[in-house]
């Protein structure tokens, strides 16, 4: 662990569940040194059992942290302190010896590709936060596996936390408990330390019985030591350390060293009417319908979509050259607003049992509610907002926080792929990038080759979102939908992707870009989206099979005139959907070029520079 102050009380807290002595030495040292530092009242080693989960939920009810939702089976509602509602990019850092190991040094201004903190600054920050931070609380020890237990693609972590909310949520989001400990034996594990930063007795009263310490929040990653250290926030993305912190930031760095990919991607299987199946991985920034795509009900007769994962993919080439992917997670931590029977019927069928809801509104009959749920409230049923106040539509603010969440077991989703827990992973044949682009970007296009595909991922842009603390609608660069999650220098990350082409026998997936969100001059969507997106997937599927025709354009291949199946769809203006305007793309090229020059600077691989120049030339010829 990081340098530690001598704890005033060097006594080991009592272990109320589990046996410290039976743990591998490295795990025991990790727990003991942090227990001495953080000084919890007791230590509880989690076994992941049903009985333990019930006790944890009872503790939270008693503390007023959650309440039972009487309308559903084993569902709970947590309302947080309004200052602790999202990932906080400005307080999320990576600590390496050299700044350039974490981020490219920008030509001017600050880096948008991550935040570096020096080892010295981190040591000071750590020592002002952690000593005695768990006084009066229980330190929970959460052994967990990211990925199916025993899979060669999986990795083990141990999270120490003083938050029962984290224990209950990690049980849903990862494979947690005794089985993960057994898988650890004497192997390596990622060390995760989390505290809400509110030792007892409290210095000031809690808001909504939600412990957090917003002034001192810090989420730190030490990739060289495989450690994650998080303080002051109880919100999922900052406290469920298996999720973005481990599965993306630390894992992307491990993946670079070990020759695989850790990506912010959904994984889906699609089967055509003849029973042939292909798997795709897809990267979208927040608010682009990622979970909706992963769980889509296709509108095309005879086609079937099944979900392997909705958020993160770990992918590695096998000996036959297939790119094999696993979903390292065990649950869905989805944005609630906008989820409805229309937008995502399969999510709706998943979330009404064994689920923890956070910052949604509550109905007076013990149910949940949010913007875009598309259900009228029954007569006489009233709403309490996420701020725990009576709510009516005249309030002028949303009843649910825009980043409110459901945390639900993946196994409950009615369309989980039969191979979703397969230890060897599923073979990826197509990679899809996408963003929310109201203007200029066609519905779908295909990269000319792997290098061009990597360039398309690097050049991704999308309307900004509520998942982090950015406000308003602006088009933001979000390369690979990984901008907030890179675990190391983005220029080196691009080089790592480009290197995949040099793997012996690698069967490189085709790369596509989609945009479901293009609008006409009246501001209306040109494409119906949702289940109709299966028509675009059908074209991609057939492209991989060598069956669908395409025509080259300045930006990539687009479907030939009749290649996109529009049977049964009316009023789709293909000309407008696929229009490639010289004026728009000249501006787009300029923006991308500027971004690479300023943000990636000296670390931009020459192959990407070459793709940039080639695109510029092709646009000039339009």
Tens of pLDDT along 106-122?
999 999 999 999 999 99
Say what the pLDDT of residue 287 is.
Answer: 78
Q: How many residues does the chain have?
A: 622
pLDDT at 472 over 70: no
Q: Which of 455, 478, 453, 84 is nearest to 288 (CA)?
A: 478
Say what the pLDDT of residue 334 is.
Answer: 94
Tens of pLDDT along 54-95?
999 999 999 999 999 999 999 999 999 999 999 999 999 999
Tens of pLDDT along 346-386?
999 999 999 999 999 999 999 999 999 999 999 999 999 99
pTM of the predicted protein model: 0.96
Percent of the chain with pLDDT over 70: 97
Say what the pLDDT of residue 78 is.
Answer: 98
Which position has the higher pLDDT, 33 or 471?
A: 33
Tens of pLDDT along 306-315?
999 999 999 9
pLDDT band at 465 (very low <50, low <70, confident <90, very high): low
Peptide bond into 530 cis (omega under 30): no
**DSSP string covering 327-384, please?**
---SEEEEE-TT--TTT-HHHHHHTTBS-EEES-EEETTS-EE-TT---PPPTT--EE
Which position has the higher pLDDT, 137 or 469?
A: 137
pLDDT at 268 over 70: yes
Q: Which of 506, 505, 538, 520 is nearest to 579 (CA)?
A: 520
Residue 203, SS3?
coil
| Residues paired with 475 in a beta bridge | 463
Q: Which of 555, 608, 552 is nearest to 582 (CA)?
A: 555
Say what the pLDDT of residue 289 is.
Answer: 87
pLDDT at 33 over 50: yes
525 secondary structure, DSSP code: B
| Whole-number Å distance between alpha carbons of 363 and 368 | 6
Say what the pLDDT of residue 111 is.
Answer: 97
Say what the pLDDT of residue 11 is.
Answer: 81
pLDDT band at 7 (very low <50, low <70, confident <90, very high): very low
Lowest mean pLDDT among 165-174, 286-295, 449-458: 286-295
Give the residue-averaged pLDDT of 559-579.
95
| Residues paired with 376 in a beta bridge | none
pLDDT at 4 over 60: no
Catalytic positions: 288
| 123: Cβ contacts below 8 Å, ≥ 6 apart | 2, 3
Alpha helices in 218-328 (DSSP H): 236-239, 251-258, 290-294
| 379: Cβ contacts below 8 Å, ≥ 6 apart | none
Say what the pLDDT of residue 6 is.
Answer: 46
Tens of pLDDT along 243-265?
999 999 999 999 999 999 999 99
pLDDT band at 464 (very low <50, low <70, confident <90, very high): confident
């Amino acid at each position: 662990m990081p340098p530690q102050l001598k704890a005033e009380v060097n006594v080991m807290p009592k272990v109320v569940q589990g046996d410290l002595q039976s743990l591998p030495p490295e795990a025991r040292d990790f727990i003991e040194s942090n227990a001495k530092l953080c000084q919890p009242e007791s230590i509880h080693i989690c076994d992941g059992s049903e009985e333990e989960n019930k006790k944890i939920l009872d503790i939270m009810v008693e503390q007023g942290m959650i309440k039972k939702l009487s309308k559903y089976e084993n569902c709970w509602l947590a309302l947080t302190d309004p200052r602790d509602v999202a990932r906080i990019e400005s307080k999320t850092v990576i600590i390496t010896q050299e700044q350039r190991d974490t981020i490219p040094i920008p030509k001017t201004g600050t880096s948008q590709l991550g935040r570096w903190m020096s080892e010295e600054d981190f040591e000071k920050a750590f020592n002002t936060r952690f000593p005695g931070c768990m006084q009066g609380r229980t330190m929970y020890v959460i052994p967990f596996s990211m990925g199916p237990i025993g899979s060669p693609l999986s990795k083990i972590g141990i999270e120490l936390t003083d938050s029962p909310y984290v224990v209950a949520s990690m049980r849903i989001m990862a494979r947690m408990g005794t089985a993960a400990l057994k898988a650890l034996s004497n192997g390596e594990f990622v060390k995760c330390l989390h505290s809400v930063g509110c030792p007892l007795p409290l210095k000031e009263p809690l808001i909504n019985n939600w412990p957090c310490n917003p002034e001192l929040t810090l989420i730190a990653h030490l990739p060289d030591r495989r450690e994650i250290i998080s303080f002051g926030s109880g919100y999922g993305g900052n406290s469920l350390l298996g999720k973005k912190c481990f599965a993306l930031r630390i894992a992307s760095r491990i993946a670079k060293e070990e020759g695989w990919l850790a990506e912010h991607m959904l994984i889906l299987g699609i089967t055509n009417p003849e029973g042939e199946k292909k798997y795709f991985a897809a990267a979208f920034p927040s608010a682009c319908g990622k979970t909706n795509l992963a769980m889509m009900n296709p509108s095309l007769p005879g086609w079937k979509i099944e979900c392997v994962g909705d958020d993160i993919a770990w992918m590695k080439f096998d000996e036959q050259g297939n790119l094999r992917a696993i979903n390292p997670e065990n649950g869905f931590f989805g944005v609630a607003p906008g989820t409805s029977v229309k937008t995502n019927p399969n999510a709706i069928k998943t979330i009404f049992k064994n689920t923890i809801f956070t910052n949604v509104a509550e109905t007076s009959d013990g149910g949940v509610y949010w913007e875009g749920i598309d259900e009228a409230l029954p007569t006489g049923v009233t709403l309490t907002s996420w701020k725990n106040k009576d709510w009516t539509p005249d309030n002028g603010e949303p009843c649910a926080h825009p980043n409110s969440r459901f945390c639900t077991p993946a196994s409950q989703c009615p369309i989980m792929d039969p191979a979703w827990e397969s230890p060897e992973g599923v073979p990826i044949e197509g990679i899809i990038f996408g963003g929310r682009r109201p203007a200029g970007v066609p519905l779908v296009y295909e990269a000319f080759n792997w290098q061009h595909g990597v360039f398309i991922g690097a050049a991704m842009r999308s309307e900004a979102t509520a998942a982090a603390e950015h406000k308003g609608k602006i088009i933001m660069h979000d390369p690979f939908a990984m901008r907030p999650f890179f675990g190391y220098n983005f220029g080196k990350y691009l080089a790592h992707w480009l290197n995949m082409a040099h793997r012996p026998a690698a069967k490189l997936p085709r790369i596509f870009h989609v945009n479901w969100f293009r609008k006409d001059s009246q501001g209306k969507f040109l494409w119906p989206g949702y289940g109709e997106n299966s028509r675009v997937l059908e074209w991609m599927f057939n492209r991989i099979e060598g069956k669908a025709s395409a025509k080259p354009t300045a930006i990539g291949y687009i479907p030939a005139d009749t290649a996109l199946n529009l049977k049964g769809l009316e009023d789709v203006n293909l000309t407008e959907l696929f229009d490639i305007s010289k004026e728009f793309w000249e501006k787009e090229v300029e923006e991308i070029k500027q971004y690479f020059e300023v943000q990636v600077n000296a670390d931009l691989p020459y192959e990407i520079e070459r793709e940039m120049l080639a695109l510029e030339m092709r646009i000039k010829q339009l």
